[in-house]
A and B are shown apart, each in its own frame.
Chain A
Amino acid sequence: MRTSFWVGILFGTVTACTTTRDDSRRTLDWLDGNLAPASHTARMVLLPVAIPVGACGVLADTLLVNPACAVDDAWWDTVDVLWTSREESTLRKALFTPLAALATPVVFVGDWLWRCVIPTPPRSEVVPVPTSAQKPEAKS
């Protein structure tokens, strides 16, 4: 019991690392934006209430929101690694497809767990999504 308690504390502390990123605190940002008292005095007085509420926000982000948001990125990472063709021959693709199928759940779960635990930039930061304002370059 004591060992598993401390292992749980350690795991919780490590997974909370994801919540250290500014863009991985959706629940906390909502609380800060909508429920934070306006005056400094009120903030100090309500601190005994804010600490458990904030701690629940950290837990919600760490254990629920961030893992849920990581599913999409983990899926597209998997597609990128295993199912995106890089000018391979047809034979190579045919031979690799069963292996890719077998590896898909492994890579997906591994990538998802990695994104749940380690602070990782979301795919939208690493792979910019083209907006409607960007026009393709005109060919000369």
Chain B
Amino acid sequence: MNGHRLLLWCLCAMLPACAWARRENRPVWNAFEEHLVPQSQGAFLATLPLTGPVGLLSIAADTLVAHPLQVVDDAAEDAADLWRQVDLDADYYTEAGFAPLRAVATPVWFCCSFVGRSLFDVPSAESRRLDAEQVAAERRAGALQWFAALVAGGHRGPRRSLPEKFDAELFAAMDDCLAKTSALGRLAVYREAWKNPSMSEHVDWGLAFADSSAVVRFELLLEAPASIQVPDAVMAKLAADPEEAVRTLAKQPRKR
């Protein structure tokens, strides 16, 4: 093997080190470091001529054997995902017709997933699920804190995204917030609600557009998307509003 090929081989061997960057992806190295590498500096230096090559061997074992074995089940899960979406009750001939294509794609997708997961640090389905649950929990806690801050006198928007789906506790917190917060606080809630379908379904938009504060009525007419349905009786009241600015806006088409 000449020098150029050896260099190319070494570079290719180092490429899978991307997966090696994560601690969980190097079990052999972790065991070697924990049990065979001396802690004291003197012993470490003395045994370096031995631990160095063994360390490189353990990196190679992780890269070529241990980590690929770790990701076989994740690659199989990725391939199985192709079949989880099949719903013969909904689209019988469509799903049956695509079955041969799925059958051909399954081993191909397994191989691609296996190679990709072996080379790079790709989170497993389980770790993605745990990450998603953690994000959902943080968003939920953030939403409850935001509602509490609005009740305490704040009026700014939330610091992080609100949950996509609100549960009964979040709806109760939102209703309580709307009942107790200031006009600007109510406006902050409405601004988030028309971006969030779950919140928007719960909000009584007729009540929102008939808010006691002219500022809220004006801003809703100005900014709320036309997809927000407002009862005709409420729009008629707005067209006869005591505030001229609200009357003027109520007679104009709302923004799309």
Interface residue ranges, A against B (CB under 8 Å): 9, 13, 16, 25, 28-29, 31-32, 35-37, 40, 43-44, 47, 50-51, 53-58, 137
Contacts and interface: CB of A to CB of B under 8 A. Distances in A.
Contact of A53 (B93, B104, B105, B253): B93
Interface residues of B, number: 16
Interface of B: 88-89, 91-101, 104-105, 253
A28 B93 contact: yes
Interface of A is mostly: helix
A107 B88 CA distance: 40
A37 to B, nearest CB: 7
Given A51-B99, A54-B97, 14 more contacts: A28-B94, A36-B92, A40-B89, A47-B88, A47-B96, A51-B100, A53-B96, A53-B97, A54-B99, A55-B96, A55-B97, A55-B100, A57-B93, A137-B253
A54 B88 contact: no
Contact of A43 (B92, B97, B98, B253): B92
A51 B89 contact: no
Q: Is the interface of B mostly helix, strand, loop or mixed?
A: helix
Contact of A51 (B91, B96, B105): B96
Contacts of A37: 92
A104 to B, nearest CB: 35
Nearest to A51: B96
